[in-house]
Amino acid sequence: MELLIEDSVLVSNYINGDEKSLETLINRHNQRLSSFIYSKVQDKVVTEDIFQDTFIKVIKTLKKGMYIEEGKFLPWVMRISHNLIIDYFRKNNRMPKFEVSKNFNIFSVMGDDHLNAERRLIKDQIDIELSLMVKELPVDQREVVEMRIYRDMSFKEISENTGVSINTALGRMRYALINLRKMVEKHQLTLTN
């Protein structure tokens, strides 16, 4: 059975000159990162370009010694790709295409479709970051958050499913929110679009 080396160890090994470690990291996260990018751009060639650009930025940051290891390599890489996706949309969809006629009215074509694409990307990134933070919560808090937010269960249903009182379920949710706020502040995340 092959021993799985943690990302942090591979990053450290790469920084210390082991090129194979970077190859292992790329291979390990290739599918997930490519799928994430493709789900946003819906184009294989663009996906490959953004994937390559992402790892070029990763390499440059690692070589400059600017990466701070917090056990968050994949979320960090995904944030880089997310920013590159937004750059791609901004660059390629900046101006709407339209026909100009005698009765042309600029307000008839001004919409925020491209802005909506950007907002959707931001929302998706926020969802990813929140999901990762929820996984860091203590089990009892995570359980309540997942039932309430992701399964849309009432606190009464949560109480029945977990075998605790409604007040205990509410308390766990309260502590979960407090812990999530602390994580957001610690990582200096912006969770609004």
Per residue in 103-150, pLDDT tens? 555 444 444 444 566 677 777 777 777 888 888 899 999 999 888 887
pTM: 0.49
Which residues in the chain are classed under CATH 1.10.1740.10? 1-93
Residue of higher predicted confidence among 33 and 121: 33
Q: How many of the other CB atoms lie within 10 Å of CB of 125?
A: 24
Task: Count CA atoms closer than 13 A to 108's CA, side-chain side.
Answer: 7
Show Cβ contacts of residue 180 under 8 Å, excluding neighbours closer than 6 positions. Answer: 130, 133, 134, 137
Give residue 1's pLDDT band: very low, low, confident or very high (50, 70, 90): very low
For the segment 51-57, the average pLDDT, to the nearest whole number, is 92
Q: Is the pLDDT of residue 168 over 50?
A: yes
Of the candidate ranges 18-22, 137-141, 150-154, the one whose mean pLDDT is the lowest? 150-154
Helix orientation angle between 166-186 and 113-135, rounded to the nearest 10 degrees:
110
Which residues in the chain are classed under CATH 1.10.10.10? 114-193
- 1-93 belongs to CATH 1.10.10.10: no
CATH fold for the domain made of 114-193: Arc Repressor Mutant, subunit A (1.10.10)
What are the CA-CA distances from residue 25 to residues 12, 126, 155, 177 (Å)?
A: 11, 24, 41, 32
Give residue 40's pLDDT band: very low, low, confident or very high (50, 70, 90): confident
Q: What is the mean pLDDT of the chain?
A: 80
